[in-house]
Amino acid sequence: MAYVDHSLLIDRPIRAKMAATPETSDFTSIKLRIKAAIQGEQPNTLLPFVGNEHKAMPKGLMFSAKDYLQLVDDTGRIVRADKRGSMSQESANILNRLNIPQENWIKLTTEFTKIFKGPVGNTQELTVYCEHLERKRRQGAANCHRWLDSA
């Protein structure tokens, strides 16, 4: 999700000078999320952020909208071609909580389509997906294991 928001929905419109900032990039999910976050809400058309994982967890993304927007913003600052940045402590804490090493995060957000060619998820979710589709082979399982399974 962050890859899509950063690479496809933010970086390209800004580089193409179609938008100056993520919040002005028309027809993007990040713009919807930012607009809703400013109003203290969540967009109705997108899966909501529900906070940290807990026992009676409702359907949604297991971190806060603030954390997500911080992570997307930091990622954009880090991978800029014209000026490399560093990750904030807040984003480092988010990645630690999600068991994603910072190096993996940068690799995933800059080379996602080179690494993955089929379904993407941890190997447990990939197995469930393939069983659901009655596929005998888990395409991309090695990369899913390498980059997405918890350390």
91 and 35 share a domain? yes
Q: What is the distance between the alpha carbons of residues 26 and 68, in angstroms, rounded to a whole number?
A: 19
128 and 103 share a domain? no
Note if the pTM is more than 0.85: no
- Domain containing 65 equals 2-112
Q: List, in order, residues 6 or more apart from 115 with CB less than 8 Å away.
A: 107, 108, 143, 147
The model's pLDDT over 108-142, given as tens digits with 9 standing for 90+, comes to 888 888 888 888 888 888 999 899 999 988 888 99
* pLDDT at site 134: 92
The model's pLDDT over 21-45, given as tens digits with 9 standing for 90+, comes to 777 777 777 788 888 888 888 888 8
120 and 73 share a domain? no
142 and 75 share a domain? no
CA 103 distance to own-chain centroid:
15
41 and 97 share a domain? yes
Q: What is the distance between the alpha carbons of residues 78 and 113, in angstroms, rounded to a whole number?
A: 19
104 and 124 share a domain? no
50 and 81 share a domain? yes
If one counts the domains in the chain, the total is: 2
95 and 125 share a domain? no
56 and 121 share a domain? no
End-to-end alpha-carbon separation of the chain, Å?
21
Q: Using an 8 Å Cβ cutoff, are 141 and 126 in contact?
A: yes
CB burial of residue 130 (10 Å; 0-12, 13-18, 19+): middle
Q: What is the distance between the alpha carbons of residues 2 and 18, in angstroms, rounded to a whole number?
A: 20
66 and 126 share a domain? no
101 and 127 share a domain? no
Q: Using an 8 Å Cβ cutoff, are 6 and 29 in contact?
A: no
85 and 149 share a domain? no
